[in-house]
Amino acid sequence: MKIHNFSAGPSILPPEVLLQASEAILNFNDDNLSLLEISHRSKPFVDVMEKARASVLELLNLEGKGYKVLFLQGGASTQFLMVALNLLEKRAGYLNTGSWSDKAIKEAKIYDDIYEVASSKDAKYNYIPKGYDIPSDYDYFHCTSNNTIFGTQMKEFPKCSIPLVCDMSSDIFSRQLDFTKFDLMYAGAQKNMGPAGTTLVVVKEDILGKVSRKIPSIMDYKIHISKSSMYNTPPVFAVYTSMLTLEWLKNLGGIQAIEKVNDIKARLMYSEIDLNPLFKGYASKGDRSLMNATFNLINDDLKETFDTMCREGGISGLNGHRSVGGYRASMYNALPLESVQVLVEIMSELETKA
């Protein structure tokens, strides 16, 4: 039976990427050595790192525009600290749209004055705040583009006279944006780019080096840039698999092509949620995520029946986050349209049984 993987992360990867990555574990680059045992400073892996970084700039249309690409460790959670250490001198503004932005605020507050310019915490993060002001004397403004737990997504980003920083962990490479608007973007790989273990950072180099504090070497973006993401041993397998996924995306036609597929999947999913009287969406309609559709059963008495139908249909990873409950269909780039069709058919069938 085919499994339809709706996991929120670590998430589904393209089958051809999994095949290539598994082959590399046994014999990488036809050298009869495993990818897991080669030197990270050997030419074959240096080539992988360079190709991965170049692919990021190509896909985001940032080539020749002053941006540097890093593959680091520690997840997006470490970036909550690194952003503040590298950019925060006096004060910064944060948009609080979910659990991860809330955690980013908490970590940054260790270092200096952090202000919430707006928050949707009052409604359990089921919408994206709008109409807020960003003071021009802040060191930077931080936002989270997509909120996996609550199923909301920023459709527009504010115009800033200060550096714009964005956590794009769960929707990077999924839709077309003018990425030159952002001065620093970061994303854990394990949703749209690769396996858990590496974190992508794309930073405009000219915003760095302006804070007066001493930055620990391992937390200093400039040092990682100078060492080409190899200041310490990089997560070789995660970087290699991310490189393969980026190549897969380029071969599909890039972000422009995958965005069309993602739109179709999301429209199909939300149409069923809205038309089926047994279900109700969690997020505000205008702020719904293309990546994570959150919804609940109107009648919890049907939960056991629905869960059984999903299990028999090969649906995996559909349970909502513990803080929200209900269900969450994560529809990242590698999830095929067929999987969404199967889920929608099961939801429709439940209506006929109820």
Question: Do 270 and 209 share a structural domain?
Answer: no
Q: Can you tell me the distance from the alpha carbon of 175 to that of 173, in angstroms, rounded to the nearest whole number? A: 6
For 96-107, write each residue's pLDDT tens digit.
999 999 999 999
Answer yes or no: do 228 and 291 share one domain.
no
349 lies in a domain?
A: yes
Residue 323: give the domain boundaries: 255-353
Same domain, 243 and 292: no
Q: What is the CA radius of gyration of the chain?
A: 21
**Percent above pLDDT 90 for the chain:** 97
Catalytic site includes residue 280:
no
Q: At which residue do the structure tokens 């929200």 appear? A: 324
Residue 3: inside a domain: no
Q: What is the pLDDT of residue 354?
A: 80
- Do 195 and 141 share a structural domain? yes
> Is-above-0.95 flag for pTM?
yes
The answer on 244 and 202 residing in a single domain is yes
Indicate whether 156 pLDDT > 90.
Answer: yes
Measure the CA–CA gap between 267 and 32, rounded to whole angstroms: 46
| 29: in domain | yes
- Alpha helices (H) in 295-354, listed in sequence order: 303-312, 337-353
Distance CA 89, CA 240 (A): 36
Number of Cβ atoms within 10 Å of the Cβ of 204:
18
- Domain-ending residue, one of 206, 221, 252: 252
Q: Are residues 212 and 269 in the same domain?
A: no
What's the gap between Cα 219 and its chain centre?
21
User: Cβ of 336: how many Cβ atoms within 10 Å?
Assistant: 17
Kindly state whether residues 224 and 274 are assigned to the same domain: no
Whether residue 8 is contained in a domain is answered as: no
**Residue 288: beta bridge partners?**
152
Query: Is residue 210 among the annotated active site residues?
Result: no
* Given 139, 171, 183, 191, the catalytic residue: 191
Checking if the pLDDT of 233 tops 90, the result is yes
Query: 20 and 93 share a domain?
Result: yes
Neighbours of 338 (CB within 10 A): 11
Q: Say yes or no to pLDDT of 48 above 90.
A: yes
Q: Distance between CA 270 and CA 338 in Å, rounded?
A: 15
CATH number at residue 341: 3.90.1150.10
Residue 230 and residue 349 in one domain = no
Total number of domains constituting the chain: 2
User: Do residues 226 and 268 both lie within one domain?
Assistant: no
Q: What is the pLDDT of residue 344?
A: 98
Here the CATH number for the domain that contains residue 201 is 3.40.640.10
* 10 in a structural domain: no
Would you say residue 5 lies in a domain? Answer: no
Query: Would the pLDDT of 81 be above 90?
Result: yes
Would the pLDDT of 323 be above 90? no
Cα–Cα dist 289/325, whole Å = 17
Residue 104: what pLDDT?
Answer: 97
Q: Does the structure show a pLDDT above 90 at 170? A: yes
β 91-96/113-119 pair status? parallel
- The full length of the chain comes to 354
Of 167, 171, 183, 287, which residue is the catalytic one? 167
| Within-domain flag for 93 | yes
248 given a catalytic annotation: no
Tell me the percentage of the chain whose pLDDT exceeds 70.
Answer: 100
Domain limit, last residue, from 204, 232, 252: 252
Of 252, 285, 311, which one is at a domain's C-terminal end? 252
Task: With respect to residue 152, please indicate whether it lies within any of the assigned structural domains.
Answer: yes
Whether residue 215 is found in the same domain as residue 300:
no
Do 247 and 273 have their domain in common?
A: no
What is the arithmetic mean of pLDDT over 132-144? 97
